Amino acid sequence: MKLWQFCSCLVLVIPLFSFVTAKGVKVSLNNELRSASQKKFLDVGIQPGIGNVSLDRFCQDWPRSFPEICSKNKNLTLLSATSVGAACFGLFFLLAIGVAGFLARGNQRILFWVFKIGLYLTTILTIGLVIVHAGLIITAFYFINRGLILIGVVIGLGALYGVVRIARNVFLLIRTVSITLVGKVLSSNESPRLWNNIKKIADQLNALPPENVIVGINPSFFVTESDVILDNEECSGRTLYCSLPLMRVLNTKEFDGVIGHELGHFKGFDSEYTQRFYPVYQGAIDTYDALSANLRKEGEELPYFALLPALGLFRFFLDSLSVAERQVSRKREIIADKVGVLASDKYSFGSALVKFHVYSNLWTKFIEDAEEDLRKSESKVFHNLSKTFSELIAENSKPDILEGIADSTISHPADTHPPLGIRLDSLEISVTDIESDALNIRPASPAIDLIDQTEKLEEELTCAMQTFLTRQAAQNEVE
């Protein structure tokens, strides 16, 4: 079943149940009224025509004669109308989300505002819809059998509990979104050549320079304006993350292109988009995933069931905009690639992209092997994971590793990247054009030379990474 079909069922099931209940009770009351009317007329010797006798008409003609039954009829009519209204509103709600997601496709500004407004509007409307559904289910059980009203109250309160729990997390998103990394902040005093090179590129591109530079062992380069949490400190503002093992295999020209690409996200509206969209977007996804996962744990079945309608609506909202987000992100990456070329040249930047795609794929197996070594031996000590990984890169740097690489993509903490082939096509080059440069993983002037006391820094980060992996392994065993 597709998500939109599932969500349609979620918004229709309670209104349909309450509508059928109201109609069923009215049919039963109408049958009782006709039976009583027929008996009364027959008792006095009159053959009645009771086909048009109904509770609605009865209460319209003699509303004050039978206030209790007419009040009940009025409430049943109201329950029917509210059920229809809730069903129509729920379907319109889903349609509006779908249309908003469609309109935002390929348009960065529309996506920015649709998501920003839509997230909170979805929260508010979901709360309202769940309150109405709670009222419908309680009222329906009341009319079925007053003894069952407690069941309706439990379901209604459970649903309210769920949506309030989600709402609380949503309204805290902007303040709580953060990225946790294993890395080290390098100041301009600690690494003046690196900072000077980055500032030179920022000036050349008329882009905002980073306020923080973090280096680590993970094979990725990215910028973020989310808070970044490290082991012993926290950074806020514009942050650039650089990978030490990849800096070992990039020459300075390739490195300039990568930095130019990343700083391209700090230019114009893209800077505001990076700052104000992605933290909230990624935070919304993380909040949904964490809340859903936590409630699936043993002993949490009832809260998860109560949360199902609210979780379904939020999942539909996120999924409807995810297509637009992917399109916008890919467009942003292509534009940032062209900025990267301005900071170097298309061949240098292209070869850097190929190195990223080829050698980042080796990281998953590398880190899994490291975790396995730690599980087998608690006394295992890594000395320099960055250097070890770069040696693994050297062992695999052969022409056949480039086969099929054009179809690959690379992961990113918050962004979506197009396949390598599309990115190279936009640069008007191919893998063949840059094959020799991409396989040169021991350049004469590696980017790592921009950092002072590199091996000492790598060993310090290796120790931090080992602690992180050990802690993560222990946590996985507990779960």
How does DSSP assign 392-455, residue by residue? Answer: HHHHH-SGGGGTTGGG-----SS-----HHHHHHHTT--TGGGHHHHT--S-SSBGGGGSSSHH
| Each residue's pLDDT expressed in tens, for the chain with a length of 479 residues | 577 788 888 888 889 989 999 888 888 887 777 776 666 554 444 445 555 566 777 777 666 666 777 888 888 889 999 999 999 998 998 999 889 888 888 777 888 888 878 888 888 888 888 788 888 888 888 888 766 667 767 766 766 666 676 666 666 555 556 788 899 999 999 999 999 999 999 999 998 899 999 999 998 899 888 788 888 788 888 899 999 999 999 999 999 999 999 999 887 666 667 666 776 777 777 767 766 666 555 444 544 555 677 777 888 888 888 888 888 888 888 889 999 999 999 999 999 999 988 888 788 888 888 888 777 776 667 889 888 888 888 888 888 888 888 877 776 555 567 888 899 999 999 999 999 999 998 899 999 999 998 999 999 999 888 888 887 766 655 45
Which of the 8 DSSP states describes residue 251? B
Tell me which amino acid residue 255 is. Answer: F
Give the residue among 183, 176, 245 at the shortest CA–CA distance from 390.
Answer: 245
Task: Give, rounded to a whole angstrom, the gap between the first and last alpha carbons of the chain.
Answer: 30
What is the chain's percent helix, strand, coil content, to nearest 5?
A: 75, 5, 20
- Contacts for 196-202: CB closer than 8 Å, 24+ residues apart: 197/252, 197/255, 197/256, 197/259, 197/450, 198/240, 198/259, 198/263, 201/256, 201/259, 201/260, 201/263, 201/343, 202/263, 202/266
Which is it for strands 239-243 and 234-235: parallel, antiparallel or unpaired? Answer: unpaired
> Residues 130, 163: contact at Cβ < 8 Å?
yes
Neighbours of 294 (CB within 10 A): 11
